[in-house]
Amino acid sequence: VHFWAPTFKWGISIANLADSSKPPEKVSYPQQIAVTATGLIWSRYSTVITPKNWNLFSVNIVMAGTGIYQLSRKIMHDYSHKEQAAVAKE
């Protein structure tokens, strides 16, 4: 894997961190699942290839982490929003 591929991939992780300032209702489940899955799959791949690519590993671990964080924000928002709606009906 060439040096520039993981280096440019840092932009996706940084953009995902910047999205933390957006409201959770604007977070997309499919997009964040794809970001998380990609991060996990490619971080595993980076440890299997020879020579090991630690830049690729680190960018994908961060990518998976930001995806998990965004998914947790969305899930917590959706869960608490449903609870508030149920309480309001009572």
Using one digit for the tens of pLDDT, what is the confidence trace for 41-90? 999 999 999 888 899 999 999 999 999 999 999 999 999 887 777 777 76
* pLDDT of 32 higher than 80: yes
Kindly state the tokens that stand for 22. 């957006």
The model carries a pTM of 0.84
* pLDDT of 35 higher than 90: yes
Kindly state the tokens that stand for 37. 């899955």
**Alpha helices per DSSP H over the chain:** 4-18, 29-48, 54-89
Q: Are 46 and 52 in contact (CB under 8 A)?
A: yes
Q: How far apart are the first and last CA of the chain?
A: 57
Kindly state the tokens that stand for 43. 């971080």
The pLDDT score that the predictor gives to residue 65 is 98
